[in-house]
């Protein structure tokens, strides 16, 4: 279950939407059977609408290994449950996110110079009488 106050890690990489009307499609939430709707307040979701073939879905990608706290749970009747989540920052990040504001790495360091190793001269032949 998802009791209020519980924190957990969402390990999957998930496709989400910011448009409720998309959820009526049976491929997503649908309108019948047991269903759970997560409303997620997060900072790490990435809006990919302009890169998606289905731009009307307002798709947001939720990266894996995000930590959430359950804010509230609500039964909507007809086997529909709504769980409100808020992203929280773990004490120790599970995965480092790459952002546009991340500093770009500088030039690669020069490779180490080879260390010369003296090679002994071949032994002189010993004449046999």
1: exposed, middle or buried (Cβ count in 10 Å: 0-12, 13-18, 19+): exposed
**pLDDT by residue, tens only, the chain of 129 residues:** 899 999 999 999 998 998 888 888 888 888 888 999 999 999 999 999 898 888 888 999 999 999 999 999 999 888 899 999 999 998 877 777 666 655 556 676 776 676 676 666 666 666 666
- Can you give the pTM of this predicted structure? 0.68
CA distance 68 to 94: 13
CA distance 41 to 53: 25
Query: What are the domain boundaries of the chain?
Result: 7-88
CATH-assigned architecture of domain 7-88: Alpha-Beta Complex (3.90)
Instruction: Write out the two tokens for 72.
Output: 């509230």
């Amino acid at each position: 279950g998802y009791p209020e106050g519980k924190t957990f890690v969402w390990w999957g990489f998930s496709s989400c939407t910011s448009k409720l009307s998309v959820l009526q499609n049976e491929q997503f939430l649908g309108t019948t059977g047991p269903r759970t709707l997560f409303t997620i307040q997060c900072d790490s979701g990435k809006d990919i609408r302009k890169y998606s073939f289905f731009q009307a879905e307002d798709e947001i990608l939720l990266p894996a290994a995000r930590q959430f706290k359950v804010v509230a749970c609500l039964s909507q009747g007809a086997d529909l449950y709504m769980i409100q989540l808020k992203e929280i920052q773990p004490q120790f990040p599970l995965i480092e996110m790459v952002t546009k504001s991340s500093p770009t790495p500088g030039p690669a360091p020069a490779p180490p110079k080879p260390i010369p190793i003296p090679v002994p001269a071949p032994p002189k032949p010993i004449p046999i009488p």
